Structure 1
Amino acid sequence: MSILLTLMLIIAGTKLAGDLAVRLGQPSVLGKLIAGIVLGPAALHWIEPEPFINEMSEIGVLLLMFIAGLETDLDQMKRNWRSSVAVAVGGIVAPFVGGYLASIAFGLSNGQSLFVGMLLCATSVSISVQTLKEMNALQSREGTTILGAAVVDDVIVVILLAVMMSVLGTGEGSSVSEIMIKNGLFFLLIVIVSLFVVPQVMKWFASLRVSEPIMSGALVLVCGYAYFAEEMAVAGIIGAFAAGITISQTRFKHEVEEKVNPIAYSLFVPVFFVSIGLNVRFEGIGSQLVFLLVLTLIAIAAKLIGGAIGARLTGFDRRSALMIGAGMVSRGEVALILAASGLESGLLPQRYFTTAIVLVIVTTLVTPPLLKLLNTGRSNAVKAVDQ
């Protein structure tokens, strides 16, 4: 299919599906995700996964996390760092144990079960970010805690992956010490560059006599931060998020925020949403349906409860704690990358790859309505207290 026709279908399909979701009382992101399933191989076969879609999708998720960084209240994130760590740890321990025990019960080997447990630890808050934005809750205490927990979660999961590759002898993983050194260097250098280099770089770009110099400088930083993150064994989305926080501390924040939204939401972000649905395949699922159902229930419940316990222990009320737990449920592109790595290294059997992909899709689909439900209850409770 022509690239132009594919993009036409993606843009039109996501906007119409998003509008329909809003009219039905759901976040628009839910409709956009379902549009990808309907347009893709699982239903109409109008759009197939292609390299250019994957590349545009990667740009879309980077821009989404960059915007989240721009809109993050850094002071509130600093105040909530204990909650973020507790939520991340709770949201890793519970899914890991649940995924491991379930896999053992269904006959997977010890190594394969460990990998499935680790796969359930992953969190990708890009979908949660969009949902929180639609609910005007991204800058709330709950929103900043979710974002902080996602950063901690990513670092821990990367280290877990390194441990697993080393212990299970796949020969494809870096040593744990190397991963930890790279992670530490990444955060140290990002802080130094953000404080002393970025403000000067943005001023220099602003002085250039070309069109959109400030926005161009911001995009250079996003790409540079994301690339550096990937080179240092940290997910690119964490680099993009850090770039957003960095620019939010400069005088260029509002101009960048105003101009990046049309770039992201008119093209790249819709492609990202559709690309998730394109991964859905139903062939061969029937023989693994029970395992898929059990694992999906564990994936949702363990993240929700584990994250909520971490939030509850650090001062959040029950409703807010559950909302934070719900924000960590989506596995998104992080788990897709882990699943592909597991398949390549032999830690995830080929016959379970589709199960893993469907699990990722389901956790991603349930996150927006779950967040909205819990946020509505929280808002009503706050109004009742105010009255």
Structure 2
Amino acid sequence: MAFIGTLCLILVLTALAAHLCRRIGIPGVVGQLLVGLIVGTGGLQWIHSDELIHIFSEIGVILLMFLAGLESDMALLRKYFKPGMLVAIFGVIFPLLLGTGGGFAFDVTKTEAFFLGVVLAATSVSISVEVLKELQAVNTKEGSTILGASVVDDILIVLVLSISLTFLGGNQGNDQSIGITLLQQGIYFVLIYLLVKWIAPYLMHLSERIYTTASVIIMSLVICLGMSYVADFVGLSSVIGAFFAGIAVGQTKVKEQVFINVESIGYAIFIPVFFVNIGLEVELSSVVTYFPFILAFVVIAVISKLFGGYLGSKMAGFSNNSAWMVGAGMISRGEMALIVLQIGSQGGLIPEQYFAPMVITILISTLVSPLILKYFAKKVLKHQV
């Protein structure tokens, strides 16, 4: 029963922390991470990560990626395909290159340096969307491009992550030859195509005809968890299966119903545990010890996305101010980068001593992104008046 008390404490503290953060204009996820920092081994030592917290955390990250897939607007992607694709491609290449170079500067292995770049390549525009809503700029060319690019960015990161786990040693303990692994993964991506095109629509339609309470939600979770399990079985990360399951269910007419209910399930229990669990593993003393690393990677995190987005937008024919606004909208890392970081840590692809500094880097880049976006957005909107 000790875990029940721990879970209750986590839920109360994360709810209060997220509320307070949002009241002062800070993303709620920051508050949840801070709870982990404060009550974990680096702070008050009230909570220690154990098997049950780890399991809840795993379910939380799967549901989080499923929701990310559900939110991926394919219609928006098609409408702003060219600028969104260019912004996303350069917004992944620049952080990969600069992040890898930064890793070399701090004397880590080639594999670890590359994966540090992968972490920085992730984008989470949920915070940018809040700023765009506040400025009534969601439906502008720039706002729509940011949203479209975020869809492409998510897909690119999931693909880069799956390739990284296959070739960089993230599948430790798997004795199969690389050829068999690649064949299995190729079959899996064929399955994803079939899922999006036919299987998910059929299963969701079938679920509406089953006389069981919440049958639609149950079926969506079966698809999510099933695809996560199969992804893990073929040597990919479980979150990759969850993400594409979300895209598949998101193409059906029950998308909104599923999103509302799964969001409630996830954010009520499992997702807060995921963010707290990351904070539990962070030693606050590392801020001082690794300050040069944190400073360097915060600069890389901001500059790489800002200039990547700018260059992609300019190639798509945007004006200077518009291009800077799009680049600023891609800076925030948020939960996507934390997910990639956690997976890399579990696969031995992130240097153990740099895990905590990377969490802090993600936090800082997420906090400064709204300020930079507001600065450039106001410039654009002033010229449009």
TM-score normalised over the length of structure 1: 0.81
Q: 1:286 to 1:191 in 2, by over 3 A?
A: same
Query: C-alpha distance in 2, partners of 1:230/1:312?
Result: 39
Aligned ranges 1:224-235 → 2 under 5 Å: 224-235=226-237
Secondary structure, in 3 states, of the residue corresponding to 2:348?
A: helix
Structure 2 Cα separation of the partners of residues 154 and 370 of structure 1 = 25
Choose which of 321, 326, 349 in structure 2 pairs with 1:321. 326
Q: Which amino acid aligns with 1:325?
A: M
Aligned to 1:154: 158
1:143-170 per-position Cα deviation (integer Å, ceiling 9, x unaligned): 231132122123224324544459xxx9
Q: Shift of residue 104 of structure 1?
A: 4.1
Question: Residue 327 of structure 1 contacts residue 367 of structure 1 at CA under 8 Å; is this kept in 2?
Answer: yes
Gaps of 5+ in 2: none
1:51, distance to aligned residue in structure 2 (A) = 1.9
**Deviation readout 1:302-334 (Å, 9 max, x if unpaired):** 344345434543455323332343145763121
Answering whether residue 68 of structure 2 is matched by residue 68 of structure 1, we say yes
Match of 1:384 among 373, 382, 385: 382
Provide the rounded CA distance (Å) in 1 between the counterparts of 2:315 and 2:235: 30
User: Identical aligned pairs, as a percentage?
Assistant: 28
Instruction: Report how far residue 365 of structure 1 moved.
Output: 1.0
* 1:236 is the counterpart of 2:235: no
In structure 2, the CA distance between the partners of 1:42 and 1:4, relative to structure 1 (3 Å rule), is same
In the TM superposition, 1:207-286 aligns within 5 A as 207-282=209-284
Structure-1 residue corresponding to 2:127: 131
Partner of residue 120 from structure 1, selected from 117, 135, 154: 117
Structure 1 residues 171 and 296: alpha-carbon distance in aligned structure 2, compared to 1, 3 A threshold: farther
Residue of structure 2 in register with 1:30 after alignment = 30
Residue 204 of structure 1 corresponds to: 206
Distance (Å, rounded) in 1 between the aligned partners of 2:85 and 2:122: 15
Give deviations 1:346-377, integer Å, cap 9, x for gaps. xx6xxx4122x123312331243234224434
**Offset of residue 21 of structure 1:** 1.3
Instruction: Indicate conservation of the 8 Å contact 1:83/1:311, yes or no.
Output: yes
- 2-structure distance, mates of 1:249, 1:53: 33
Shift of residue 15 of structure 1? 1.6
Work out which of the residue numbers 358, 366, 375 in structure 2 matches 1:368: 366
CA contact (8 A) 1:85 1:152 kept: no
What secondary structure does 2:331 align onto? helix
DSSP-derived class of the 1:342 partner: coil
* Shift, 1:266, TM fit: 1.6
> 1:233-273 CA distances to partner (integer Å, 9 max, x unpaired)?
44333322322232232222232233223212222222122
Paired residue secondary structure (1:326): coil
Cα separation, 2, equivalents of 1:70 and 1:284: 36
Contact 1:70 1:248 in 2 (8 A): yes
1:100-129 deviation per Cα after TM superposition (whole angstroms, max 9, x unaligned): 444444445xxx144223332235858x25
- 2:146 matches 1:142: yes
Equivalent position amino acid for 2:192 in 1? I
Q: What count of residue pairs does the alignment treat as equivalent?
A: 372
Tell me the TM-score normalized by structure 2.
0.81
Among 189, 209, 213, the residue aligned to 1:187 = 189
Computed over aligned residues only, the root mean square deviation of the Cα atoms, in angstroms, reads 3.4
Alignment of 1:102-117 (within 5 A): 102-108=102-108, 112-117=109-114
Rounded Cα–Cα distance in structure 2 between residues aligned with 1:174 and 1:96: 29
Is the alpha carbon distance of 1:106 and 1:327 closer, same or farther for their aligned partners in structure 2, counting shifts above 3 Å? closer
1:332 paired to 2:338: yes
**Hey, what's the Cα distance between the residues in 1 that align with 2:309 and 2:175?**
28
1:280 CA drift (Å): 0.6
Letter in 1 for 2:340: V
Q: Comparing 204-213 with 282-291, which one deviates more in the overlay?
A: 282-291
Whole-angstrom distance in 2 between the partners of 1:184 and 1:55: 28
Note if contact 2:99-2:297 (Cα within 8 Å) is conserved in structure 1.
Answer: yes
